[in-house]
Amino acid sequence: MLFNTRRSPRQAQPPPEAFDAQREKSAIAEMLLKSSAKLILGRGELEIIRGICQAIVEVTPHIRLAWTWFGPSDTQSIRPQVFAGPAVAYAEALHIERNLLTQIGPAFSTLDGKPAQAFTVSQYSLYGPWREAAREHDIRHVLALPIRSTFNGYSGMFVLYADRDGYFDDLGVGLFSGLAELFGSLMTVAAERVELERAAYHDALTGLLNRHALDLIDRRLYRTSLFEPASSILMLDLDHFKSINDRFGHDAGDAALQAVARVLRDALRRGDEIIRWGGEEFLVCLPQTPLADALKVAEKLRRGVEGVTEPEPLSVSIGACEVLAMQHLAQAIARADQALFDAKSQGRNQVRVVQ
């Protein structure tokens, strides 16, 4: 009699290796040490964080997702900013709005500084996104760690998702807490640099851009061909503004400038740029806007400024010009300034085009 000695594929597979939490933890720590120099060298702060998250999910099959968020502590909305792992689709779709329920939930309680917390996740979790994580990505355990910062009013969170029950209880949170501290330092440096850049390129009184931002805008308006969409600029100067400071004081003048800045911001499209050029002068840059359309915008702005009535009714003179092909912004500004001079000399409170 012949016997079939071949086993089924299932029988041929060796038994699954027992989970060794210490070895898992050591593998993650070793990976971080080996890759630290490569991650840090020549990279920005967010790139370093992204690289660390990517390295974590590559060294172990159990961590399916790692993401971070950092920003104002009183934010009303959280969307993962940096994320990595096989379950990135979950992070890309995640959007947590602050409300009575989420305020006491894991995300916002972690953001408010609650210590590191590990949560069991299942298809029956009370939290809707976790039910999806369990169902779609086989997530079973989540660790949420606060990211603390010395940057005033900012904080964040570092969140990891695993496909094994009690995974973070077995490994402990020490290693990941250390990463959260590192992320806090990196994000603080990034936030401080952004604030310094914002201060360098923005006017303190109105919050608008200042002249230092001109080179950044020039690259958006400069065109090398007649076939590219035309851009235009407007030079604005408030009429008789010196008399407001003389009669009502500089505080009233500052309030009027802030009101005008709000009018200009509200009237323009996203992508248009406003520069406080100096004193009561403003430069408006309109990318991909031909002169005919720019004149309609200019008239809209002129009427908007007429609506500012404190400490007395205001008006504005405007010079307009189209940015010619192969022409840098400084050259166009000189032409717009000539048009502004014409508007001033011909009675003010009007729009003129350079001839």
Per annotation, catalytic residue among 24, 45, 273, 280: 280
| CA neighbours closer than 13 Å in the CB half-sphere of residue 33 | 7
Residue of 163, 176, 25 whose CA lies nearest to 87: 163
Whole-angstrom distance, CA of residue 43 vs CA of residue 30: 21
Q: How buried is 177 (Cβ within 10 angstroms: 0-12 exposed, 13-18 middle, 19+ buried)? A: middle
Whole-angstrom distance, CA of residue 322 vs CA of residue 165: 64
Distances (CA, A) of 282 to 60, 129, 215, 331: 56, 47, 16, 16
| CA neighbours closer than 13 Å in the CB half-sphere of residue 57 | 20
One-letter amino acid of 348: R
Query: For residues 284 and 236, is the Cβ–Cβ distance under 8 A?
Result: yes
Residues facing 65 on adjacent strands: 161
CB atoms under 10 Å from CB of 89, counted, come to 13
280 is catalytic: yes
Which residue in the block uniquely carries the two structure tokens 């006017």? 203
∠ Cα 350 351 354 (to 5°): 135
Token pair, residue 318, equals 């405007």
Question: Which residues are marked as active site?
Answer: 280
